[in-house]
Amino acid sequence: MSAQELDRRAAVAALLEERGELLVISGLGSPSYDVFAAGDHDGNFYLWGAMGGAAMMGLGLALAQPGRPIAVITGDGEQLMALGALATIAAAAPGNLSIVVLDNGEYGETGGQPSHTARGVDLCGMATAAGFASSLTVDSPDGISALRAVIRQTASGPRFIRVVIAPGAKPKTLPPRDGAFLKARFRAYLGFPVT
């Protein structure tokens, strides 16, 4: 890990400040808790399962809503489970999609065991090799501030962003868990009829 590691909750809150039209898909567990703690929003879709599915869900949304910026906020453990998604996203090349991986080098949802990133696996290198338009690591508050503009772009993507965060759990802040409610709320926010 980096010499400087960010507080995950503060980093996500700073990233989502003044979010504008940004749509957010959050990975299961801690990323969803962090996104919710930053402020519930009708443009947030929290995943409650389907580990490894956040990036692909973000791809589908990016393709369906090409004029809107889409950010997937997930963890290193979930993204490691879905490495094939990186190739599919790169091949589809949605300009409006950013994959933001909160990397603490541990599997936080199962007890804090070291993840592969703690053992040297380079997620940014994998995204670059897959064909992402850009891939970068952020490990400072200034870097997070600069990212706000980057993830709001609707062109020049897809972008892969690894945010180095400190290990350790935060208190759980639980977003709504009702899938039907989340789907209906998200559809209504996008202007679709809710049935």
* pLDDT, tens only, 2-49: 446 899 999 999 999 999 999 999 998 899 999 999 999 999 999 987
pLDDT (tens digit per residue) in 83-102? 999 999 999 999 999 999 99
Dihedral over alpha carbons 35, 36, 38, 43 (to 10 degrees): 70
pLDDT (tens digit per residue) in 53-69? 999 999 999 999 999 99
The pTM is what? 0.94
Locate the domains of the chain by residue range. Answer: 8-186
Q: How far apart are CA 77 and CA 74, in angstroms?
A: 8
Q: How far apart are CA 151 and CA 19, in angstroms?
A: 9
CB of 167 within 8 A of CB of 105?
Answer: yes
CB of 144 within 8 A of CB of 15?
Answer: yes
Q: Does domain 8-186 have CATH number 1.10.10.10?
A: no
Q: How far apart are CA 122 and CA 55, in angstroms?
A: 17
pLDDT (tens digit per residue) in 147-184? 999 999 999 999 999 999 998 888 888 899 999 999 99
